[in-house]
Amino acid sequence: MNVWVFSLTKKQMTLRLHIRWGLVFFLLSIASANLSAQSQLTEEKRSSLLHLLKQDCGSCHGMRLTGGLGPELTSDTMSKLGAKNIFTVVKYGRPGTAMPPWRAILNDNEIEFIAEQLVVGVEE
Ligand code: HEC
């Protein structure tokens, strides 16, 4: 009788442990997924965003993003501006200037990806 009770509680404990570790891994996977916008976008989406960056952004910032109507978006200047500031400029635009807001066209993930790419450098 005693042995039976013991084995039951041991089984329950193992089950609890499994649930606990399951929760830990679940939370860890959410945390790592949020680390970079890049990992949340499909390869296809990423390449279409890079295309947009060169075509649409490039129409003002220069086809090589080295400046035109808008300032250059080279990794040199973009790393100084920082991904957070780039995100804000791209999402809301710069009111009173020709820089338009992109929030109706791009979601936060996509803007984050573009900001990350600009910091690393996409100019040629
Ligand atoms: C219609 C023209 C136009 C388009 C299209 C455009 N921009 Fe701009 N952008 C500007 C202008 C003009 C400025 C400078 C605003 C100012 O005077 O502060 C600017 C500023 C910026 C800045 C801040 C640069 C700095 O050094 O402060 C970033 C970053 C930027 N644009 C990114 C983008 C991205 C990314 C896209 C495409 C998704 C884009 N822009 C599309 C005109 C444009």
Count the alpha carbons within 13 Å of 29 in the hemisphere toward its beta carbon.
Answer: 6
pLDDT at 5: 55
Sequential pLDDT tens for the chain (124 residues): 555 555 667 666 666 666 666 656 655 554 554 556 777 899 999 999 999 999 999 999 999 999 999 999 999 999 999 999 999 999 999 999 999 999 999 999 999 999 999 999 998 7
Please list, residue by residue across 77-115, b when 16 or more beta carbons sit within 10 angstroms of its beta carbon and e when fewer do: ebeebebeebbebbbeeeeeeebeebeeebeebbbbbbb
Cβ contacts of residue 86 below 8 Å, gap of 6+?
A: 78, 114, 115, 118, 119
Count the alpha carbons within 13 Å of 113 in the hemisphere toward its beta carbon.
Answer: 21
Q: What is the DSSP letter of 88?
A: H
User: What pTM did the predictor assign?
Assistant: 0.75
pLDDT at 36: 66
Q: Looking at the domain 41-120, which fold is it?
A: Cytochrome Bc1 Complex; Chain D, domain 2 (1.10.760)
Residues with CB under 6 A from ligand 1: 56-57, 59-61, 69-71, 73, 77, 81, 86, 89-90, 94, 97-100, 102, 114
Cα four-point dihedral sign 36, 39, 45, 49: positive
Q: What residue spans define the domains of the chain?
A: 1-35, 41-120
User: How remote is the CA of residue 60 from the centroid of ligand 1, in Å?
Assistant: 7
User: How remote is the CA of residue 57 from the centroid of ligand 1, in Å?
Assistant: 7
Q: Tokens in use for 90?
A: 């791209």
Q: Do the Cβ atoms of 42 and 110 come closer than 8 Å?
A: no
pLDDT at 30: 47
pLDDT at 37: 72
pLDDT at 46: 96
Residue whose pair of structure tokens reads 């086809």 in the numeric block: 63
